[in-house]
Chains A and B, each alone.
Chain A
């Protein structure tokens, strides 16, 4: 399978230097967070795409990461320490000034004011939720678009179909970014068991909406495709599917994507090797400190485990014996 970039270009044009560095930096920092938390390769794999998506969106756009995603949180202002505290169940807050939710975790980070929405039980469950969020924001100025990120398995879920179909019927500005694979690096849940398609973007035709495929080997191309799709969506073109394909040639790992991105930053004179090395050292050091500080924070049990199920004003009573 040959995978062109979204614009049919052989090689994308990098965004302005500060944005290009931000993209790489987000992915690098996100990788550092997940590595410290012991995440597996599959979860790391999506991080560079998340960084490309987050930097391709406007600050007013809504992000539905589909899975716990430190890159999305970093992009919208969470600190590394806050993310570690969420993941470890320590510290004070998922949202500053409010009690730590008893059932929280990194997946519990949700702040509509910052345009970040917690994932549900399944990644594709976020698609119908995003449609509703867009119905609620349809009269905002400037127009608001939303991104939902799902892996290849997410497109096999019923919610993917219901969400995309509803989005298409209503014409809401929703961009579904799906991770495709040329072959499979994962023998446990290989791609061919998720879809009988070469390209997941082909699903778009069934909804009467645009679908495009871009190589995940070129993060700048991904960012550019995201930005263009969102621009079209905000302008009234409705939803779209953007497939980001990870290929044998480009590699499937987070490290591969970061290395290529870094190489381009230096090769195209957006940053010097020294500058990037400084950033890397600073991030690693900051993450070590943040992890240490989060681990030393008190366990987050600010209120009894029985509360926070319904609103405090609710008359719902917990079993008095707790039995």
Chain B
């Protein structure tokens, strides 16, 4: 099948950076001989050897702490969380050690912490979460989540080269999604951290989203177009720092904003974006900012429950219709 998947793009980005810079190395549980739970690092041990593909105990705080220590001595570690849910076990190392290091000492911690996030694969409450906002609320970190294969490639490379700690969230629903197969851009493709991308131009309302919700929003935009509603779809790509310019520009263009995220509702990024729009685009708004999100519950395990929990095309279209008619 032509083109690369989202997962293959991440793999390619990691390999390119490891070939480019000997300071880049990987550490995580079962990433070596096993090739990672999702086989993302398959073949890396053979190409780069055990000093650069470090299998660790199942101990997320140790993994992140070790990455911090290595980075202080000039290395560029990429730490894998086998499932991003377990990043919670490394919370102190990330939010207190890595994030505050530059502010406290003047020394940066150039590490990447990456792992599969998100639901839609019946993983239940411990293998489906979207923990981005814990970290968006932490000054000193950067948080990215690609939604396309090309961005997966460009953002992992940019994250590795970034001088600060980057949380790189990769949605597991997208890993092998055939819709995302694409020919990847040429050598050394970088996507700047902090820059959103307009995925579809429209004039009637804006849909701001990221991660796996991008596909749902693009599908919803197609449905809306058939009804005569033209949607501007913005892929945030980076959640910290947010691309305020892109957000405000789209809002000023359409006057109506719908924010869609898979994360739970309270404290989700939609609230922050709404505040930005109130501060910087209030005069241009023709309707209250709307949002479609997951419910404020843990991610349910049962397929029917999970389908109900997650935002889908139907919910997005319904919210957009209400917004357009306001």
A residues neighboring B (CB under 8 Å) = 94-95, 98-105, 107-110, 112, 117-118, 120-122, 125, 127-138, 158-159, 162-163, 165-166, 169, 308-311, 313-317, 321
Contact = CB atoms under 8 A, between A and B. Distances in A.
Interface string B74-93: 11010000000000000011
A56 B74 CA distance: 26
Interface size class of B (residues with CB under 8 A): 35 or more
Closest A-B pairs by Cβ, 9 of them: A128-B65, A132-B69, A132-B66, A315-B194, A103-B103, A121-B96, A133-B69, A162-B62, A129-B69
Contacts of B69: 117, 128-136
Contact of B104 (A108, A122, A132, A133): A108
Given A120-B96, A162-B62, 12 more contacts: A94-B105, A98-B106, A101-B103, A103-B104, A110-B101, A129-B93, A132-B66, A133-B72, A138-B51, A166-B62, A169-B56, A317-B194
B92 A159 contact: yes
B198 interface: no
Contacts of A103: 100, 103-104
B106 A135 contact: no
28 contacts: A94-B106, A95-B106, A103-B103, A110-B72, A112-B107, A118-B101, A121-B96, A125-B65, A125-B92, A125-B97, A128-B65, A128-B69, A129-B66, A129-B69, A132-B75, A135-B70, A136-B75, A162-B62, A162-B65, A163-B62, A166-B59, A308-B106, A310-B102, A311-B102, A311-B162, A311-B163, A313-B163, A314-B142
B238 to A, nearest CB: 9
Contacts of A122: 92, 96
Consensus secondary structure, chain A interface: loop
Contacts of B247: none
B16 to A, nearest CB: 21
B56 A166 contact: yes
Contact of A125 (B59, B96, B103): B96
Interface in B171-200: 192-195
A132 B67 contact: yes
A97 to B, nearest CB: 11
